[in-house]
Chains A and B, each alone.
Chain A
Amino acid sequence: MTTAVEDIEQVIRTWLLTQDALSIVRREVRQQSKNIETTSHILTRTGFEECELSQAETDITTCKQAAEDFAILSMWAVFERRLIKRLEEECYKMQGTQPTEFNQRVFEKISSTIEYWRIDEAIDLIKPLVGGNLAGQAKSIKKYRDWVAHRNPRKPTPARVDPQTARELLKIIAAALDAD
């Protein structure tokens, strides 16, 4: 099983590869638009084959933005899963070595409802592990993640985060959760 840190790195690798792939397509589309007699088959049997340059460029720009959004959403999903798992582990530790029925019932109730807790409250619980500063950063990333998920252009943006910075911050927090 992979760790949250490894999963976050995988999200970033996927994002970078997607960016590269889209840059290759863009370069080829531009090249072919200048040279009608091209012998290149890179775009053969793809949606770009018959596409106008301006349309292709608009589509690629949209795809690049979508890839960045998806990286933020995916990294947050990985982080949130690790956070919930860590809280479950902590609950489990609070059971007695020979859990009583009462122990067991409390544990089952908490662990079955953890994923429905408000995420800000869940983040507050890990402050003793990661400190208030990082917990605050995590909340800011979540706020931006929510804006990305709905992307209403009429609504002002909360503080933005790029995938690189989100990676660094979430990896540090995830590593602290793993270490304790």
Chain B
Amino acid sequence: MTLPMTQKSEEFLASIQELFTEIESWATAKGLRCKRGSVTINEQDNGTYQAVTLQILTDKDEKIAEFVPVGASIIGAKGRVDFVGTIDSVILANWDKGGPSIITATREGNVKESKTQPLYKGIEEAGWYWVESRKLSRAHKFDQRLFYELLRGVSDYDYCG
């Protein structure tokens, strides 16, 4: 039985469409080709649904990387897409402005105080971000420059530029 899409999964799919359209333009600007596919996602909160994947190919149709949606039900995020290359892979998360935050509670005597604290630095606007594994708590907006940099990192592919 197919359950109706939830608002969260619909928003996730819309955000992927937007992201992939941008990536397609960045990829073709470097002479790369793109090919869309699909993946089935099965989540407790959102049921089973299909999401679009995006392969990045050389001009000789050799696959060098793929963007694979992981899901809309992610702790602290609105969605996750994995950027999987021939050598490595990285995680992209869709966050609101400020990114994921936590509310910590402290108590001084009978006075209880709570304070909101962001989990990662550098999230100035809503969108897709990559968290650098080796630098503590630093997130980077996924833009054209970062796409090229990560593509090189996950695939060793040199697009000469």
Contacts and interface: CB of A to CB of B under 8 A. Distances in A.
A131 B74 CA distance: 21
A169 B86 contact: no
B80 A162 contact: yes
A151 interface: no
Nearest to A134: B102
A162 B43 CA distance: 16
B104 A159 contact: no
Interface string A82-101: 00000000000000000000
A130 B105 contact: yes
Given A131-B103, A133-B102, A160 B73 contact: yes
A144 B75 contact: yes
B87 interface: yes
Contact of B103 (A129, A133, A141, A156): A133
Contacts of A165: 75-77, 100, 119
B13 interface: no
Given A130-B105, A131-B105, A161 B75 contact: yes
A160 B119 contact: no
B77 to A, nearest CB: 8
Interface in B97-144: 100, 102-105, 107, 114, 117, 119-120, 131, 133-134, 137
Interface string B69-104: 011011111001000001111010100000010111
A19 B88 contact: yes
B75 A160 contact: yes
Interface string A146-163: 000000000011111110
B42 interface: yes
B37 interface: no
Q: Which of A30, A137, A159 neighbours the largest number of chain B CB atoms within 10 Å of its CB?
A: A159
A27 B87 contact: yes
A64 B119 CA distance: 25
Interface stretch (B21-29, B44-52, B53-61): B44-52
A159 B100 CA distance: 14
Interface string A26-60: 11001000000000000000000000000000000
A134 B104 CA distance: 7
Interface of A: 16, 19, 23, 26-27, 30, 64, 127-134, 137, 140-141, 144, 156-162, 164-166, 168-169, 172, 176
Given A161-B75, A165-B75, 17 more contacts: A23-B87, A131-B103, A131-B105, A133-B103, A134-B104, A144-B75, A156-B42, A156-B43, A157-B42, A157-B44, A157-B71, A158-B45, A160-B75, A162-B80, A166-B75, A168-B119, A168-B120
23 contacts: A23-B87, A27-B87, A30-B86, A64-B89, A131-B104, A131-B114, A133-B103, A137-B76, A140-B75, A156-B42, A158-B43, A158-B73, A159-B44, A160-B70, A160-B74, A160-B75, A162-B80, A165-B76, A165-B100, A166-B75, A168-B120, A169-B76, A169-B102
